[in-house]
Structure formats: C-alpha cells, structure tokens
Amino acid sequence: MAVADRDTGTGYGATTLSVIMAVSVCHMINDIMQSLLSSLYPLFKANYDLDFVQIGLLTLAFQVTASLLQPLVGLVTDRWPMPYSLPVGMASTFCGLILLGNAHSFEFLVFGACMIGFGSAVFHPESSRIARLASGGRHGLAQSLFQVGGNAGQAIGPLLAAFIVLPYGQGSVAWIAVIAFAGMMILTWVGRWFMEHRRLNASRRPVSRELPISRNRVLWALTILVVLTATKNVYMSSMSSYFTFYTIEKFGMSIENSQLMLFLFLAAAAVGTFMGGPIGDRFGARFVIWFSILGVIPFALVLPYANLFWTCVLVVIIGLIFASAFSAIVVFAQELVPGRVGMIAGIFFGLAFGAGGLGAALLGDFADSHGIDWVFQVSSYLPLLGLLTVFLPSLPGRPAA
C-alpha cells in the first residue's frame, strides 16, 4: 500500500523522477559554475596579482550574496510560490559567467561572483521545494538526488578549469555560459510542471504546520543543526578554496594535477551525498547525521600529517562520509518545521554559503600570515563540534540513531 505524503497528498508510487532529475541536473549546472569560480583562483591570482585575503573576499562576495538572499527567497516563496523564478536565477548565473570571462579588474571579478551568487540564492529554495513535491514521500531520496547533482557539479567545475579554462585562458569562461543557457530551458519546463501540479492539487487540504515536538525543543534542535551545518561548510570551504594551494605547496604539484586532486575530493563528496538519502529514508535522517558528522572526525584529524598517497585516500574517505550529512540535515529540519520547505531550504543552503564564505575569508587571512599548512592543521579540528549531534532529539514515528 502506498503511504500518503502530507506535503503532496501523493503516495510513494507517485514519485515524479523526471522532475527530480531535471532539478538535479540544474543543481549540477548551478554548482559547476560556483566550483568553477573557486577552481579559477590560481589563474585569477596570477592574472590580477591577488593575495590570499582577496581570494577569500572573492569567495565571501559570492557566498554571502547567496546566503543573505536565500532565506528571504524561501520565506516569500512559501507564501507565494514562483516557479518561473528558477530560469530567471539561472539567467543571472549566465550573465555572471560572461562577466567573469571578460573582467579586467578585481572589482569586476567580485561583481561577476555576486551575480552567480544571486542565481544560487534564487535557485536553491524553490528547486528544493519542487524536489520534495515530486518525491511521493521519499524525501531523503529526492533530497539526495537533488543534492548529488550539486556535488557532481562541484566535482566537474575543476575539470572544466583544468582542461578548458587553463589551456585557453580566462576568456573561455564565457564559453561555458552555454551550459547555463541550457539550464534556463530545463528550468522553464520544470516551472510549467510546477504550475500544473499546483492546479491539480488546488483543492487539497493545506499542509499541517503543527510542530512534531515542543517549540523549545524544535528551536534547540534547529540551533544544533545550524552549528553542524556551519562547521561542515567552513571545513568544506577550506578544502574547495585552498586544497589546490595546499597540494601545490606541500607536494610540489602542478596546477593541473592539483585540480585533479580537488576533483577526487569533490567526486567522493558527490557519491557520499547520494548514499545519504536512501539510508536516511530507511533508518532516519538523525542516524545519517550521527554517522556522517561523528565518523569523519578521525580522518580529518590525520589529514594534515599524511603523505601524498594517504592524502589521496583520506580526502576520498572524508568526502564520502562528510558529504552525506547535508541532505539529511535539510530533511530533518523540514520535518521539525512542517510546511516551511522553502524557508528551511533557504536558511540551510544560505547558511552553507554564508558560513563557507566567512570561513574562507578568515582562513585566507591566516594563510597569508601563517601559511597554508597551518590552516589545514587548524581546520582539521572543526569536525569535533559535530559532537553536538548527541543532543539532537528523536522525532515521533522516526527510528532513533
């Protein structure tokens, strides 16, 4: 028997896989662009004679633009859904790529990064809502498929940098904008599906917003999830922004090979993200958070002291384990606050960008003053904050971790 989903009124058999895959592909496109930006930091550093503080500020400009707007977008679209905002957001990303490919100063780089950040701010809350609507109740699977598209995009970005932009120069960034244009077309189709879904379900009872546990316990749980998300994304940002510099300095790698090392980490993160969703549907989101946040601690602590071979092994393990947490955190938070899918997605995706941006800027300052190796030693202790996971409450009807 199909189990009814209180958000959609549909059963498990009604999962609209084509819609989930469409938003996942567009999530991949969106995150290709943002990971491409961080992968180009060595090129920008050489072309514009940037220091590490400016590299951190470039990350901050992108991620804070996205983080500040995402909760607001989610709050507004919970009240007034805007399905056709998705292609508009991708159009902003398209324009940002054109600007990055033709920028002639650091200020234009920052402006291009902000346009990509704005595109991400519009994309994440509404596309996360659509993935949940199309899930047929399998929220973990839908969220992981949606998120794995983003992780795949983060892994592909360094490859585009290594094999297209670095050989052909900064101007080739504008060529990649054609991928964003394809995303605009896909999201226009998704918007039409969303409009039809709303028309067919117009007579259904509104989603219940009754909290599953007491309000104080909900606020406490959300606070813990916020800390876990911030910790995870500062660590992940240190990897995505500075891992190439770390491997170049510590192991004497070329820029191209350092991009491949970054791809290794990000590809493992994409696989880990996908694994987290089905496991969360089977055992509960809280179980996945426990496994991911606590399980990564010993590997993160060892990484700064490993040789090249073990660095390759450890970044794969860390990517697999750590990345599985985020989709579970989002699903758990949406279960804590029913009926606020867009707002929760906006807060947690926005927090991911904001925490990562602030962390990247701060770590960039430390990298200039203390060196890259010191930064990786300090950041290895960040996952220890994951011990707060022990205070997460169990939700009624969900298995305990």
Amino acid found at 202: A
Q: Give 324-344 pLDDT, tens digit per residue.
A: 777 788 888 888 887 777 777
User: From CA 219, how far away is CA 346, in angstroms rounded?
Assistant: 17
* Residue 183 near residue 55, CB atoms below 8 Å: no
Spell 64-87 as b/e; 16+ CB within 10 A means b. bbbbebbbebbebbbeebbbebbb
User: What pTM, to 2 d.p., does this model score?
Assistant: 0.67
Which residue's entry shows tokens 């989709």? 327
* Residue 38 near residue 154, CB atoms below 8 Å: no
Residues whose CB falls within 8 Å of the CB of residue 205, separated by 6 or more in sequence, listed in order = 9
Q: What percent of the chain has pLDDT over 70?
A: 90
Q: Give 260-292 pLDDT, tens digit per residue.
A: 888 888 788 878 877 877 777 777 778 888 888
pLDDT at 7: 42
For the chain, domain boundaries: 19-391
pLDDT at 328: 80
* Residue 279 near residue 401, CB atoms below 8 Å: no
Q: Give 290-301 pLDDT, tens digit per residue.
A: 888 888 899 999
* Residue 44 near residue 169, CB atoms below 8 Å: no
* Residue 154 near residue 37, CB atoms below 8 Å: no
In the predicted model, is pLDDT for residue 31 greater than 50?
yes
pLDDT at 301: 92
Between helix 255-283 and helix 325-336 the angle, nearest 10°, is 40
pLDDT at 181: 93
CA distances from residue 140 to 4, 189, 292, 335 in whole angstroms, order as listed: 15, 24, 15, 11
Instruction: Name the average pLDDT for the chain.
Output: 80
In the predicted model, is pLDDT for residue 8 greater than 70?
no
Residues whose CB falls within 8 Å of the CB of residue 381, separated by 6 or more in sequence, listed in order = 301
Q: Give 191-236 pLDDT, tens digit per residue.
A: 889 888 777 766 666 566 677 688 888 888 888 888 888 888 788 8
pLDDT at 206: 57
In the predicted model, is pLDDT for residue 57 greater than 80?
yes
In the predicted model, is pLDDT for residue 322 greater than 80?
yes
Reported as a pLDDT band with limits 50, 70 and 90, residue 398 is low
pLDDT at 310: 92
19-391 is a CATH 1.20.1250.20 domain: yes
Q: Give 344-367 pLDDT, tens digit per residue.
A: 777 777 766 666 667 767 777 788
